[in-house]
Structure 1
Amino acid sequence: MNKLILSAVALAGLAFPALADPVHGNWRTAPDDNGNTGVVRVADCGDLICGTLTQAYNGAGQVISSPNVGRQIVWDMEPQGNGRYRNGRVWAPDRDQTYNARMELEGDRLTVSGCVLLFCRDAVWSRAD
């Protein structure tokens, strides 16, 4: 009888896959200082959230070659609930600058905010899935 109960519990677990964080997926970045954009794949990195640049585009929307493709540009984001992420870091390729960062998700818009000392910069990314 115990084996039957354990089997039923195990099957129920398979029927309900782990819920993905709503920020997971591909995000189109806002244009940088050079007019370039990219697609960042956001996923779990252990208990934290990170993002890797998977594609780069010029101002005309054409795919361009970039040494930054494949580079992690968002890391150590701590999920806070309700679409908020804090205490992370973000690297801006256009300025070669790393910022203390936070993110806020609202539907298909992700506001990525980064600060160095008193200088802060916000960018709105859109879902690219």
Structure 2
Amino acid sequence: MLRKVSLALAATLMMSGMALADPIEGNWKTASGATAAISGSGSFSITLKTGKHAGKTIGSFKASGGGKYAGTITDPETDKTYNGKATLSGSSLKMSGCVLGGLICKSQTWSKL
């Protein structure tokens, strides 16, 4: 009987973990109109799915808590990589990349598809 309860508990925990995907995961419409896919668990990869640079990986982020993420973001036009931050608010994701220790930053807001 203990074995059956243990198996049921393990199955429940595995299924609940799958159902609780991070809200940053999924497809996002970028400021340029392209679609970017964010996938992963704990560490997230951003790949462009449509547009001029389709198939290109442009970022890597880790969750820092409270809907905030930190990592790197690459400008697909120039191939330059910057320190990046992302903040999730509902179905919007504010992305920013900075140089010179955060003195010069650019940001854009993406929408969840």
Check whether TM > 0.5. Answer: yes
Q: 2:65 aligns with which of 67, 70, 81?
A: 81
Provide the identity percentage: 34
In the other structure, the counterpart of 2:106 is 121
State the distance in 1 between where 2:56 and 2:108 align. Answer: 19
State the distance in 2 between where 1:21 and 1:124 align. Answer: 18
SS at match of 1:13: helix
Structure with greater proportional helix content: 2
Taking the TM superposition and a 5 Å limit, the aligned residue runs for 1:1-129 are 1-18=1-18, 19-31=20-32, 37-44=33-40, 47-56=42-51, 66=52, 68-75=53-60, 77-86=61-70, 88-117=71-100, 118-128=103-113
State the distance in 2 between where 1:109 and 1:16 align. Answer: 25
SS at match of 1:30: coil
State the distance in 2 between where 1:85 and 1:106 align. Answer: 12
State the distance in 2 between where 1:15 and 1:41 align. Answer: 23
State the distance in 2 between where 1:7 and 1:113 align. Answer: 45
Q: How many residues align?
A: 110
Moved more, 88-97 or 8-17: 8-17
State the distance in 2 between where 1:27 and 1:55 align. Answer: 11
Give the AA of the match of 1:81: G
Give the AA of the match of 1:119: I
Give the AA of the match of 1:26: N
State the distance in 2 between where 1:52 and 1:124 align. Answer: 16
Aligned CA distance change for structure 1 residues 11 and 78 (closer, same or farther; 3 Å):
closer
Structure 2 gap segments, 5+ residues each: none
SS at match of 2:54: coil
State the distance in 2 between where 1:52 and 1:28 align. Answer: 12
